[in-house]
C-alpha cells in the first residue's frame, strides 16, 4: 500500500472586498476601480448558475455503525461536467486521515467494495494512486471533517478507460457506469489492513 504525501488543496480562497477606506487625506483622483468588490470565489466553481441546465443532486446521511458515534452529511452534485463531493462529519478519529469511499452496492450491508476514494482527487479505488493515507482528509482535534473535492467527468472518464480498458466516449456513459443512485458511502477507522467502517449511508437522489 502506498502512502504519498499530498498537500490537501484549500477549497476556498477567501477574497476580501477591496474596501475603499475614506480618509481625510484622500485625493479626489482615487480611481473608481479601487472601489470594485471582487467576485466571491464560489461563483467561479464548476457548475455555476447558468453554465449547465442539467444537474444531479444526491445526499447521504452517514449514520454510525454499532459502537461508533461518527455521523455526518454528504452532498454530491454532478453539474457542468464536474463531480463534486462535500462531507461534513464529526465523531471521527481526532487528527487522523480518514479513509472514506463511495462503495459499490446500494445498501450498507453486506459490505461491498469501494469504487471511488473520497480523497483529494476523487480517485478510483485500487487503480489510481495513492488512494490511501495522506490523500484523505484529516480530522480536526475535535474529530471533525469538513471536506470538499471536485474532479472533471472527462478526467474521471479517462482514468476509467485507462484502468479498466473501456472506451467510454461521453459523460453519460461514465455516469451510467458510476450508477450513483445505487451506491453507499462509508467512513472508516484509519486502521490497516481492515479499516473498519464507523458510519454509512445510502446515496439518495434529491432532484
Ligand atoms: Cu470505504
What pLDDT score was predicted for residue 54? 80
Buried b (16+ CB within 10 A) or exposed e, 96-120: bbbbbbbbbeeebeeebebbbbbbb
Q: In Å, what is the CA distance from 7 to each residue of 4, 119, 134?
A: 10, 11, 8
* Burial of 143 from C-beta contacts in 10 A (0-12 / 13-18 / 19+): middle
What pTM, to 2 d.p., does this model score?
Answer: 0.77
Question: Ligand 1 centre from 74 Cα, in Å?
Answer: 14
Number of neighbours of residue 200 by Cβ within 10 angstroms: 23
Question: Ligand 1 centre from 187 Cα, in Å?
Answer: 6
Please give the full DSSP string across 19-37, using - where no structure is assigned: -----TT--TT--GGGGPP
Can you give the residue ranges of every domain in the chain? 55-205
Please give the full DSSP string across 116-171, using - where no structure is assigned: EE-STT-PBTTTSS--SGGGSPBP-TTS-EEEEEEEEHHHHHHHHHHHH-----SH
Architecture of domain 55-205: Sandwich (2.60)
Question: Ligand 1 centre from 169 Cα, in Å?
Answer: 28
Which residues, in sequence order, are bridge partners of residue 187? 100, 199
What pLDDT score was predicted for residue 37? 60
What pLDDT score was predicted for residue 36? 57
* Alpha-carbon span 119 to 111, nearest angstrom: 20
Question: Ligand 1 centre from 197 Cα, in Å?
Answer: 7
Question: Ligand 1 centre from 195 Cα, in Å?
Answer: 8
Question: Ligand 1 centre from 141 Cα, in Å?
Answer: 22
What pLDDT score was predicted for residue 92? 97
What pLDDT score was predicted for residue 16? 35
What pLDDT score was predicted for residue 11? 35
Q: What is the pLDDT along the chain (207 residues), one digit of tens a residue?
A: 443 433 333 333 333 333 333 344 444 444 454 455 655 555 455 666 666 668 899 999 999 999 999 999 999 999 989 999 999 999 999 999 999 999 999 999 998 999 999 999 999 999 997 777 899 999 999 999 999 999 999 999 999 999 999 999 999 999 999 999 999 999 999 998 889 999 999 999 999
Question: Ligand 1 centre from 99 Cα, in Å?
Answer: 7
Amino acid at each position: 500500500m502506498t502512502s504519498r504525501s499530498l498537500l490537501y488543496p484549500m477549497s476556498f480562497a477567501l477574497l476580501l472586498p477591496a474596501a475603499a477606506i475614506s480618509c481625510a487625506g484622500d485625493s479626489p483622483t482615487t480611481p473608481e476601480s479601487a472601489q470594485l468588490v471582487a467576485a466571491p470565489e464560489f461563483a467561479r466553481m464548476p457548475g455555476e448558475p447558468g453554465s449547465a441546465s442539467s444537474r444531479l443532486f444526491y445526499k447521504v446521511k452517514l449514520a454510525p455503525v454499532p459502537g461508533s458515534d461518527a455521523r455526518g452529511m454528504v452532498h454530491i452534485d454532478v453539474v457542468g461536467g464536474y463531480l463534486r463531493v462535500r462531507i461534513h462529519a464529526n465523531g471521527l478519529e481526532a487528527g487522523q486521515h480518514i479513509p472514506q469511499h463511495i462503495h459499490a452496492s446500494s445498501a450498507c450491508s453486506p459490505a461491498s467494495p469501494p469504487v471511488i476514494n473520497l480523497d483529494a482527487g476523487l480517485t478510483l479505488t485500487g487503480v489510481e494512486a495513492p488512494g490511501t493515507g495522506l490523500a484523505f482528509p484529516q480530522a480536526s482535534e475535535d474529530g471533525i471533517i469538513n471536506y470538499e473535492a471536485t474532479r472533471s467527468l472527462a478526467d474521471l472518464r479517462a482514468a476509467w478507460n485507462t484502468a479498466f480498458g473501456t472506451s467510454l466516449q461521453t459523460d453519460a456513459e461514465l455516469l451510467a457506469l458510476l450508477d450513483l443512485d445505487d451506491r453507499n458511502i462509508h467512513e472508516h477507522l484509519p486502521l490497516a489492513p481492515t479499516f473498519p467502517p464507523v458510519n454509512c449511508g445510502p446515496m439518495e437522489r434529491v432532484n
